[in-house]
Amino acid sequence: MARRSIEQFTGLEADPTRPAIVVDGVTETFRLHHERAVGLKERLTRLRRGSYTDFDALSEVSFTVEHGESVAVIGHNGSGKSTLLKLLARILPPDRGTIETNGRVASLLELGAGFHGDLTGRENIYLNGAILGLGREQIDERFDEIVETAGIRPLLDTAVRTYSSGLYVRLGFAIAVTVDPDILLVDEVLAVGDAEFQSRSLERMRGFVDAGKTFVLVSHDLDAVREMCDRALVLDRGRLAFDGPVAEAVELYRQRVASAAAPRTPDATRPVGCASRTWSSSAPTASRSWRSAPRAP
């Protein structure tokens, strides 16, 4: 067996002999409480008899991403897309199954994630760089590029809690793409930026893909999905409904959206005014079977 470096063992250097991402039978379960306790006394009295429902945000999801692939994750709201990216970024641990990432991972997920509001933009750049495994000298080398990409030089020594949502995204994206990650995870937050920033961001992501890096994008912008990715995963109620070419994935997703938006046909066997309690999609199912489940909150 080939000898690995310390960086490969710690996950900071990609091992080209192994896939970039391996997700095997992953299930992520959240507990939905039916009643919310207000005070401490109420919390203690309801400690044993509180009612709740277990909700699978993801259920038995498995896939592999090779180095250099650009993969989109699409699906309706509540299908588990953002939960999947948080698992890949190791923000959440899987309840069942395993996830392996091979190389340095940079993520741009929720707005402001990874920033300390009381620290300045300058301090947050060094903080995020350290979290991504860079030393101070490495961050120094990239510092000016990060600042120019984010366009925050006049506010560099101001606490980031005073930044607008657009500046938050600019700074987060600049750090993520400048630290030279092997795997880049991007959620829908780029939609917060203005048109100029979105154009520059897409250009940087194209360069990232052209450089042979691994790219995972969650987006409802199907035009961007087709332009940036050559493969797509369709999630439906926490299950992997499709894994394949992006054009087929987009068509399947559109069929399911249209099916969900179509008016339901009343059950002829029921009396007039009696609503049906069950409904199933008529859209064709690809790759895996799926069933109705509660939507994520």
pLDDT digits (tens, 9 = 90+) for 109-152: 765 667 888 899 999 999 988 887 788 998 999 999 999 888 88
Global pTM reads: 0.72
Q: Are 76 and 154 in contact (CB under 8 A)?
A: no
Per-residue pLDDT, 29: 93
Q: Which pLDDT does position 50 carry in this prediction?
A: 60
Task: Answer yes or no: are the C-beta atoms of 133 and 12 closer than 8 Å.
Answer: yes
pLDDT of amino acid 36? 65
Q: Among 80, 27, 32, which residue's Cα sits nearest to residue 54?
A: 32
Residue whose C-alpha is closest to residue 81's, from 71, 73, 91, 89: 73
Query: What are the residue ranges of helices labelled H in the chain?
Result: 6-10, 40-45, 81-88, 121-131, 136-150, 165-178, 195-210, 222-228, 246-261
Model pLDDT, residue 267: 54
Average pLDDT over residues 248-273: 73
Task: State yes or no: pLDDT of 274 exceeds 80.
Answer: no
**What is d(CA 266, CA 274) in angstroms, rounded to the nearest whole number?**
9
Mean pLDDT confidence for 146-160: 89
User: Considering only 169-183, 254-268, 274-288, which range has the smallest mean pLDDT?
Assistant: 274-288
More confident call, 19 vs 34:
19
Residue 119 CB: number of other CB atoms within 10 A? 15
pLDDT at 35: 66
Residue 223 backbone phi and psi in degrees, to 5: -65, -45
Q: Which pLDDT does position 59 carry in this prediction?
A: 94
pLDDT reading at 241 higher than 90: yes
Higher pLDDT, 275 or 14: 14
pLDDT of residue 130: 85
- Exposed / middle / buried, residue 1 (Cβ in 10 Å: 0-12, 13-18, 19+): exposed
Of 38-52, 147-161, 212-226, the poorest mean pLDDT is in: 38-52
Cα separations (Å) of 244 from 71, 74, 156, 252?
9, 12, 43, 11
- pLDDT reading at 252 higher than 50: yes
Q: CA angle 258-254-201, nearest 5°?
A: 135
Query: Nearest CA to 181 among 124, 108, 77, 276?
Result: 108
User: What φ, ψ does residue 159 adopt, rounded to 5°?
Assistant: -60, 135
Highest mean pLDDT among 47-51, 197-201, 239-243: 239-243
* Nearest-angstrom CA–CA distance, 21 and 92: 16
